[in-house]
Amino acid sequence: MKTRLHQKFFTLIVLITLGSMQLSAQVVNNIETFTGGLNGWDVSFGTNGTVTHAATEGLTGDGALQLSRGTNNANFGIKPVTGIDASTKKAIRIRYKNGTNGAQLRIGGTNGDGVAIKNNTGDNLDISNFFTTESDEYITAYIDLSSYTLWTGTLTNFWLMVRQGVPDTNDFFFDEIEFLDVVPPTTYSEFIQNPSFDGPSGIAHLTGASTDATRAITSTESHDGTQSFKYNYTADATAQFWAFSSYEKVYPSIYTAGSIVQIKMWVKTNRTTPITMQTRLKLTNGGVENTIKPIANATTTNVAMGWEELTFDLVAPEDFDGVTLWFNIFYADETEGAVPENLNTSDIVYVDQMSATITLGTLGLKKNTLQGVAVYPNPVNETLSINSPAGSNIQIYNVLGATIKTINKANKLQTVSVSGLKSGLYFIKVTNDGKVFQDKVIKR
C-alpha cells in the first residue's frame, strides 16, 4: 500500500473500499516484492517485534521486509488491508530468510464473509515446523490453502506471522509474497521426490537430525534450477548424517530379485579431499519390508567447489514393489582403520538434480539376457569360475548392493578368488554387448 489507513473512524464499507483501492497500487499481479518500502505492511500484534524496510536485502538486493523478534512468543508479521480474492487464490508463495529460529507460520485475517480465518483449534491457521532456519539463505516455500473452507471471498484483512523458536541476534526477511491459484505440482524422478529441490515440497519429506551439521535448502548454489540441498557442518562429524525420505513409490507389478536400481546425483563441496556419498533403499513387497536394505557408495574426485555427477548402482536382493530412498554423507572413524573421510567444522556439501532408474532383473526377464554364461561351483569355497563370452564385464555384489569385485574384459573362462569374502549370499552380474546375465552365489 502506498499510504496507511489512519482514519479509524471510517465505516466498514469505506474501509473495505479503501483496502481494495490501495491493493491495486501495492500488489501487482498478486505479488509483493517490497522494492519500494514498507508499502503499508507493519507489525501485527504485540510489542515484542518491529517491522522495517531493508532496501538492500532480498535475493537480488532490491529490498525486503525486515522483521525483528524480541521473544520466542512475539507475534509479529505483516498486516495490510487487502482485496485478495481467496476464492481463486488458493496458494501463497513466499521467499524468506530466517535467522530467528522461528518455526511456525501463522496466517490470519478476515475473509469475504467477514469471518476470521481460522482452523478448528485456534483463531488462526498455524503451520508448525514450516521454516528452514538458515540465517544466510533466501528460501522459496509454498502454502497450500485449498483445504481451508474459511479461506474464501475477497479478504478484508490478512497477515502473516512468524512464531515459536527462541530468537537469536539475526532477523527474519520477507523478500516476496505471491498469491497463486494453485501450488505447483510436486516433481519426482521414479521414487525420488523433489529431485532438484526446487519444488513446492521443499525438504519436508526428509527427516533425520545431527548435532554436527545443519541441513537445508539453499538458493546460493544449484546445478539445475534455483536451489539445492545443503549440508553445513558446524562441528566435526561423529556419525553418519542420513536424509530419510518419507515418500514411498509403490509399483503395480513386482520387480524381481537382482533388479538393478541406479541413482545419480550432482554433488559440490568446498573440501579439497574426497568425500563419499551413500544411497540406501528401503524395499517393500506387498507392504512388508524386506530384510535387507541395499546400499551403495560413490566418491568425489577431489574437485573443490565444482559440480560432479555421482552414480550409485544397487542390486535388489529380494523381490520388491515399493521403494523409499535414503542418502547421506559417509562418515568413517579413522580409529577403526577406515579411509580417513571424517567431515570437519566448516565443511559444506551441496546435492542437486537427483535421478533414479530401475532395470528389471534378468532372473525374471528373457529379453536382453546374455546367453552361454555358467557360474560354478555354487556354493563356492575358494575359487569361482565364470564362463562367458570373451571380453565380458563381471561384477560381484554383496547383499547390501555394494560392489565387491569388478573384472573388465574378462577371459572366456575367468576364475575369481573369493577366499577373502565372508560366508553368505552374493550376486554375479555379467554384461556384454548390451545384454546382461545375473545369478546368485553362496560363499561357504
pLDDT tens digits along 47-86: 778 899 999 999 889 999 999 888 887 777 787 767 789 9
The β-bridge relationship of strands 157-163 and 91-98 is unpaired
Q: What is the mean pLDDT of the chain?
A: 82
Does residue 284 sit in helix, strand or coil? strand
How far, in Å, CA of 272 to CA of 269, rounded? 8
Cβ neighbours of 186 (radius 10 Å): 13
Q: What is the pLDDT of residue 275?
A: 87
Element (H, E) at 15: helix 12-26
How far, in Å, CA of 313 to CA of 298, rounded? 9
CA atoms within 13 A on the CB side of 266: 16
Q: What is the pLDDT of residue 49?
A: 83
The residues near 239 (Cβ < 8 Å, ≥ 6 apart) are 210, 212, 331
First vs last C-alpha separation in the chain = 77
Mean pLDDT for 359-367 is 57
Confidence class of residue 21 from pLDDT cuts 50, 70 and 90? very low
How far, in Å, CA of 235 to CA of 347, rounded? 9
Q: What is the pLDDT of residue 333?
A: 62
Q: What is the pLDDT of residue 341?
A: 60
How far, in Å, CA of 288 to CA of 282, rounded? 11
Return the minimum-mean-pLDDT range out of 20-29, 222-231, 256-265.
Answer: 20-29
Return the minimum-mean-pLDDT range out of 1-5, 81-85, 98-102, 340-344.
Answer: 1-5
Domains 194-361 and 366-443 share a fold: no
How far is CA 441 from its chain centroid?
37
152: its cell numbers: 474464501
Question: What DSSP string runs through 403-421?
Answer: EEEEESS--SEEEEE-TTS
Confidence class of residue 135 from pLDDT cuts 50, 70 and 90? low
Q: What is the pLDDT of residue 270?
A: 92
**What's the pTM value of the predicted model, to 2 decimals?**
0.68
pLDDT tops 70 at residue 365 = no
Question: Would you give the DSSP letter of residue 124?
Answer: S
Q: Is 404 exposed, middle or buried (0-12, 13-18, 19+ CB in 10 A)?
A: middle
Percent of the chain surpassing pLDDT 70: 86
Is the domain covering 366-443 a CATH 1.10.10.10 domain? Answer: no
Domain ranges of the chain: 12-180, 194-361, 366-443
If one compares 156 and 63, the residue with the highest pLDDT of the two is 63
CATH number of 194-361: 2.60.120.260
Mean pLDDT for 259-280 is 92
Q: What is the pLDDT of residue 283?
A: 96
CATH number of 12-180: 2.60.120.260
396 - beta bridge partners? 405, 428
Max CA separation in the chain (angstroms): 95
CA distances in angstroms from 343 to 76, 135, 275, 277, 426, listed in the order given: 38, 22, 8, 12, 31
135: its cell numbers: 540465517
Q: What is the pLDDT of residue 340?
A: 45
pLDDT tens digits along 163-200: 888 787 789 999 999 999 999 999 999 999 999 999 88
Q: What is the pLDDT of residue 330?
A: 84
Q: What is the pLDDT of residue 18?
A: 25
pLDDT tens digits along 121-134: 556 688 877 877 66
